[in-house]
Amino acid sequence: MSQEKNNIQNNFDTSKLSWLKSGGSIEKLIKVKNENELLQIKNIDKFNIDKIIPIGNFSNLLINHKGYNGLALKLIGDFAKVQIKNNYILAGAGVIDSFFAQFCYRHKITGYEFLHTIPGSIGGNIFMNAGCYGSEIKDKLISVIYFDFSSFKIFEKNIESLNFSYRKGFQIKNTIILYGKFILEYGNQDSIKAKMKEYEEMRNSTQPQRVNCCGSIFKNPPGHNAWKLIKSSIDESFYQGPVKLSKKHSNFFENDPNINSDEIISFINQIKERVFNKHHIDLEPELEIK
Q: How do residues 180-201 score in pLDDT, each as one tens digit?
A: 999 999 999 999 999 999 988 8
Query: Cα–Cα distance between 190 and 193 in angstroms, integer?
Result: 5
Per-residue pLDDT at 209 exceeds 70: no
Number of domains within the chain: 3
Q: What pLDDT was estimated at residue 120? A: 85
Domain boundary among 42, 62, 77: 77
Residues 139 and 232 in one domain: no
190 to 10, 135, 180, 184, 242: CA distances (angstroms): 47, 20, 26, 18, 42
Domain boundary among 45, 77, 109: 77
Question: At 252, is the pLDDT very low, low, confident or very high (cuts 50, 70, 90)?
Answer: confident
Q: What pLDDT was estimated at residue 3? A: 43
Domain boundary among 34, 49, 77: 77
Average pLDDT over residues 104-113: 96
Length of the chain: 290
Q: What pLDDT was estimated at residue 213? A: 55
Q: Is residue 216 part of a domain?
A: no
Q: What pLDDT was estimated at residue 8? A: 87
Per-residue pLDDT at 1 exceeds 70: no
Q: Which of 137, 163, 166 is nearest to 224 (CA)?
A: 166
Query: Cα–Cα distance between 131 and 113 in angstroms, integer?
Result: 11
Q: What pLDDT was estimated at residue 275? A: 96
- Residues of the domain holding 37: 5-77
Specify the CATH number for the domain of residue 22: 3.30.43.10
47-67 pLDDT, tens per residue? Answer: 788 889 998 888 888 999 999
Query: Cα–Cα distance between 33 and 23 in angstroms, integer?
Result: 25
Question: At 107, is the pLDDT very low, low, confident or very high (cuts 50, 70, 90)?
Answer: very high
Q: What pLDDT was estimated at residue 4? A: 46
Average pLDDT over residues 116-137: 87
pTM of the model: 0.87
Average pLDDT over residues 281-285: 94
Q: Is residue 220 part of a domain?
A: no
Residues 132 and 100 in one domain: yes
Question: At 142, is the pLDDT very low, low, confident or very high (cuts 50, 70, 90)?
Answer: very high
Residues 130 and 183 in one domain: yes
Who has greater pLDDT, 43 or 142? Answer: 142
Residues 105 and 50 in one domain: no
> Active-site residue numbers?
167, 216, 286
Average pLDDT over residues 102-126: 93
